[in-house]
Structure formats: structure tokens, C-alpha cells
């Protein structure tokens, strides 16, 4: 199965470079990882000011969405932006709202108003995960019944990314015809949104409970499962690009440290054990880069293959975890302190590694896709 990015006009290589530079500049001006620390004093979530700049003013909220709502670019553009956001762990809802909820809404074809709001910067969240955090159509935790011609949903959706900041919820629910998609108001009757503590201080999550909540139908006849599966393949590549950016930042931080830190009258980067570790980190990062580029390049007309998405996520998850862990170790005692940024990347790496299913889950999925 392939997954379609319903995007706008693709950017040229020069325009992609300009887009990368713009995102990097905005994140740097916002203070880089300082934005994460400001939020972590209260609770993980969205930096509204940074998202207003990136999402509304720069236009990233419409990235990969249809031209009818002002969409720009496709998978290549999504990957470039996500890599830059991953470098600074930017607490913005590009993955949760623009990519996850946006691609699902675009696939429905019946959510023009909601999609237009999302493209303008309103945060929408996707509630589709099974209790183990993966997407499995046979284990959707929310059910739908019809009362007087109106769909009503019940159940608890765990692991809703940025659910506490969402203006609308896109919900997958199982009914007599299979899995369909619905639009819910997070502040409406029968909907309870509870923010939950997270290891990753740069990305919020919520548990959403539906108790007889009236919702708007987006699909019918069990079409929702196919739409979510296609959208998640796009999200896997976007998440892999984020992981690549985070791993590259952790490597750069480590190399700078071992060049400057001295022991026994010489930089610790000159010691063989440290050299070998840094070389291994570089191999992990470049392997991750190859996996992301392969997933993007394997997508003619913006169609990433499910196989390439699974490979990218399986590789990049483990690469980021490994590089982030070595970043902490090679910084010595200060790498374990709250004041240093190393733990922020380690937290993001560990959280991302299980966000849409761990590496083992995607290897198993890959085996099925290849009929092994």
C-alpha cells in the first residue's frame, strides 16, 4: 500500500534550501532549546508564539496540504522542515496537527472547513492510537453508534499528541461498517481531555475520553482505516526526519565538546576510544539521513511507499536513541545535569522511539509488506 501526500506545488532545490534556512533562523531567534525549557516549567505543550510565527506567518501549518487551502509542497518539504525542527526540539504541532491530522483530513475530502482552519494555524489533534500506542484497525479503542441519525462516540483515546492544545479532534471509531473518521469538539459535552506527564518535555500528550459525545462524520462505510494508514506512512517519514535532525544536533554538540574539553593536557577528542565512539555516532546519523532520503526519493508524485516509511522509522528511531545516549556519556558529569541540553535530546529520542510504534513493530510490519 502506498501513501499519498495531498500537497501543493513542489519547491525547487533552491527554494528548499531557502525554506530550511528560514526555519533554522526562526528557531534560533526564538532561543533554540530555550523554548522547551520555558514550557517544561509548567507542562509539555505548544509554544503558541513560535507556532504563530512558523505556522501562520511562514505558512508551515499548510505544508503538504491541498492547494485549495493554501497548501505548499509535499513530502520533500515536510522532511526538510521536520529535520530543522528536530534540531532544536521545537515545541510546535507540525507533526501532530499539520502532518497527522492534516493528512487524514485531506484524505477524507469532506472536511474543507476544518482543514482550512488547520492550514491557518489552528491546532487539530488525531485520536487513533490503540492502547499500546500503535495504529491497528482491529484495536481502535473508540466505538460509534447512531442515535437519531447522529453519530455518538464512546471510549478512551490514549496518546493524543498535543491533544491539550487542540481546537478540534479527528477521531477514529469502530462501528458496524468498520473504522470511520469523525470530527469532535474537545470542549463539547461528553468529551474530557486530560493532559498527561511525558518524558519528552518538548511535546505534549493527552488522554481523551468520550462518553456519548456527538460528533460529525467525515467518512462512511469503513473508509477511515485506509485513510489513516496512508496518512501514518507520511507521518513516519516526517518523524524520521525529526529524529535525523535531533541526532545531527546531538552529534554536533558532542563533537564541539570533545574538541574543547581537555584531559591530561590534550582534547579528549584525541583519545582513540572517544574517536571511535564519535565515528560510530556519525555512521548512525548518516545511515538515518540515507533512510529519510530514500523514503522521500521513493515517492514519485508525492507517494511514499509503506516499505520505505517502515525502514526509515525503524532505523532512525534506534539511531537517535544511540546518538543521544552517547551524547550524554561523552559530556561526562555535566551531560547528566538539568542545565545541559543533552538530556532534552535523550528524552525526545526515547519518546520518539515508541511514538508511532517502536523499531521492532515496524520491522515486523516491513516483513509483512515484503511477504517474508
Average pLDDT score over residue span 115-120: 96
pLDDT tens figures, 143-201? 999 999 999 999 999 999 999 999 999 999 999 999 999 999 999 999 999 999 899 98
Where do the structural domains in the chain lie, given as residue ranges?
A: 13-123, 126-224, 226-369
Whole-Å CA distances, 200 to 252, 319, 345: 21, 17, 9
Class of domain 126-224: mainly beta
Distance, in Å, from the CA atom of 192 to the CA atom of 154, rounded to the nearest integer, reads 11
Distance, in Å, from the CA atom of 75 to the CA atom of 360, rounded to the nearest integer, reads 24
Distance, in Å, from the CA atom of 50 to the CA atom of 91, rounded to the nearest integer, reads 8
pLDDT tens figures, 329-362? 999 999 999 999 999 999 999 999 999 998 999 9
Report pLDDT for 11.
Answer: 82
Evaluate whether the domain defined by 13-123 bears CATH number 1.10.540.10. yes
pTM above 0.85, yes or no: yes
The C-alpha torsion from 47 through 53 and 55 to 56, rounded to 10°, is: 130
The C-alpha torsion from 158 through 200 and 57 to 49, rounded to 10°, is: 100
Copy the grid coordinates of residue 2: 502506498
When the candidates are 1.10.1740.10, 3.90.1170.50, 1.20.140.10, 1.10.1070.11, the CATH number that belongs to 226-369 is 1.20.140.10
pLDDT tens figures, 5-14? 655 667 888 9
Copy the grid coordinates of residue 74: 509535499
Angle between helices 224-260 and 75-88 (to 10 degrees): 40
Burial, 49: exposed, middle or buried (Cβ in 10 Å; 0-12, 13-18, 19+)?
exposed
Amino acid at each position: 500500500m502506498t501513501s499519498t501526500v495531498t500537497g501543493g506545488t513542489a519547491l525547487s532545490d533552491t527554494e528548499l534550501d531557502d525554506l530550511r534556512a528560514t526555519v533554522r533562523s526562526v528557531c534560533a531567534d526564538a532561543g533554540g532549546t530555550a523554548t522547551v525549557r520555558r514550557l517544561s516549567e509548567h507542562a509539555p505543550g505548544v509554544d503558541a508564539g513560535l507556532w504563530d510565527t512558523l505556522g501562520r506567518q511562514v505558512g508551515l501549518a499548510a505544508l503538504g496540504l491541498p492547494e485549495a487551502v493554501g497548501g505548499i509542497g509535499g513530502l520533500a518539504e515536510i522532511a526538510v522542515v521536520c529535520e530543522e525542527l528536530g534540531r532544536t526540539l521545537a515545541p510546535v504541532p507540525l507533526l501532530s496537527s499539520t502532518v497527522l491530522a492534516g493528512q487524514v483530513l485531506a484524505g477524507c475530502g469532506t472536511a474543507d472547513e476544518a482543514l482550512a482552519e488547520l492550514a491557518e494555524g489552528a491546532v487539530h489533534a488525531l485520536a487513533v492510537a490503540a492502547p499500546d500506542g500503535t495504529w491497528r484497525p482491529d484495536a481502535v479503542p473508540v466505538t460509534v453508534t447512531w442515535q437519531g441519525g447522529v453519530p455518538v462516540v464512546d471510549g478512551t483515546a490514549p496518546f493524543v499528541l498535543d491533544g491539550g492544545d487542540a481546537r478540534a479532534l479527528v477521531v477514529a471509531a469502530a462501528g458496524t461498517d468498520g473504522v470511520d473518521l469523525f470530527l469532535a469538539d474537545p470542549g463539547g459535552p461528553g468529551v474530557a481531555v486530560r493532559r498527561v506527564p511525558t518524558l519528552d518535555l518538548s511535546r505534549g500528550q493527552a488522554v481523551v475520553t468520550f462518553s456519548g459525545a456527538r460528533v460529525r462524520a467525515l467518512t462512511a462505510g469503513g473508509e477511515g482505516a485506509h485513510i489513516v494508514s496512508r496518512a501514518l506512512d507520511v507521518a513516519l517519514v516526517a518523524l524520521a526526519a525529526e529524529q535525523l535532525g535531533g541526532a545531527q544536533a546531538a552529534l554536533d554538540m558532542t563533537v564541539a565538546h570533545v574538541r574543547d574539553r581537555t584531559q591530561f593536557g590534550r582534547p579528549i577528542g584525541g583519545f582513540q576510544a572517544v574517536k571511535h565512539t564519535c565515528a560510530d555516532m556519525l555512521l548512525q546519523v548518516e545511515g538515518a539521513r540515507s533512510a529519510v532520503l530514500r523514503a522521500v526519493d521513493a515517492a514519485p508524485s508525492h507517494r511514499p511507499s509503506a516499505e520505505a516509511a517502515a525502514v526509515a522509522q525503524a532505523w532512525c528511531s534506534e539511531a537517535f536513541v544511540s546518538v543521544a545516549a552517547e551524547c550524554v556519556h561523552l559530556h561526562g558529569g555535566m551531560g547528566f545535569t538539568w542545565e545541559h541540553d543533552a538530556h532534552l535530546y535523550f528524552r525526545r529520542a526515547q519518546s520518539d522511539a515508541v511514538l508511532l510504534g517502536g523499531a521492532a513493530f515496524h520491522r515486523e510490519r516491513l516483513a509483512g509488506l515484503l511477504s517474508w
